[in-house]
Copies of this chain bind each other. A is one copy, B any other.
């Protein structure tokens, strides 16, 4: 560990890469960007705090990946194509080994999704990672939370609840085998933003959101913004073979319905677009599951296969409640 590196050397060494897609990147008072004609800029920011979102000894490569990936997930939910990112970083000390790994994880994710790091800030303080992500979407085509319509199918991508199951294992609430835990922990530590899906859903979905706080909480935002309700079929929820045996228990139900950190997309689309959605699933080789229907007001009801109603109490992760 060294503390002698200056802030400017640190930025130069670990966070400065070529940015051919920007007019001006890292190194001035602000970056300069040109948004293509006919495009809207989609912009979002997410802050990850040590002790709240991850453990202080978390793997820095995975943290670098996750700090960017959770932001990209927001762009995916808007149907936007990622372009640029800013990174503000507070670290307790200039630990070059940590910074090298963090930066490698960040740029590995950035390179995979065509994102350029164009600016940021570094300072000393409790570990805190704040990423601002910017993307482009053709004017008027962004997917919003407010577009759900009566009768829409409700869909989710991938599998739900594995990240929460990994967390439950870490907290001693379930006991997974090493192999099971490894599979679920990958979802917790290495979420993959569903960017291709977001792009493909433009003009197909009526509304979309990414599932970061749990299905019920995030679907709840669509319902609130769209002034509608929802009926969910519990047995239609896509879950992994690791989570499935736990679904009869409260912990398993909670993972599937209210587990955070899934970073899948939840979206609604007209019944007439079912085959279009299934085509997208095939093209992207990504499971898309039809889990319920948009109804008139009344919140979200989860129906069990036996005709009963499943109520799990709290409906998602809230940092303050």
A1-9, A181-189, A270-278, A293-301 - interface stretch: A1-9
Question: Which residues of A line the B interface, CB within 8 A?
Answer: 3-8, 10, 23-24, 27-35, 37, 40-47, 49-53, 74-75, 77-78, 80, 84, 86-90, 93-94, 118-126, 128, 130, 132-135, 137, 139, 142, 144-146, 208-210, 225, 318-321
Answer whether A130 and B74 are a contact pair too, CB < 8 Å, given A40-B33, A51-B125.
Answer: no
* B321 engages A6 (CB within 8 Å): yes
Give the number of copies in the complex: 2
Bound Cα distance A190, B90 (Å): 23
Contacts of A8 in B (CB 8 A): 318
Bound Cα distance A321, B7 (Å): 7
10 nearest CB pairs, A to B: A49-B125, A30-B44, A29-B77, A126-B126, A47-B88, A130-B130, A30-B42, A29-B74, A94-B320, A132-B132
Q: Which of B6, B7, B118, B126 is in CB contact (< 8 Å) with A43?
A: B118
Contacts of A137 in B (CB 8 A): 32
Q: Could you tell me the distance in whole angstroms from the C-beta of A164 to the nearest C-beta in chain B?
A: 18
* A29 engages B44 (CB within 8 Å): yes
* A142 engages B32 (CB within 8 Å): yes
Contacts of A134 in B (CB 8 A): 43
Contacts of A41 in B (CB 8 A): 32-35, 41
Answer whether A34 and B40 are a contact pair too, CB < 8 Å, given A90-B47, A122-B319, A320-B10.
Answer: yes
Contacts of A6 in B (CB 8 A): 318, 320-321
* A27 engages B225 (CB within 8 Å): yes
Answer whether A123 and B88 are a contact pair too, CB < 8 Å, given A34-B41, A139-B34, A320-B10.
Answer: no
* B44 engages A119 (CB within 8 Å): yes
Q: Could you tell me the distance in whole angstroms from the C-beta of A38 to the nearest C-beta in chain B?
A: 10
* B47 engages A123 (CB within 8 Å): yes
Bound Cα distance A130, B67 (Å): 15
* B319 engages A123 (CB within 8 Å): yes
* B28 engages A320 (CB within 8 Å): no
Bound Cα distance A8, B320 (Å): 9
Q: Which of B50, B119, B319, B321 is in CB contact (< 8 Å) with A45?
A: B119
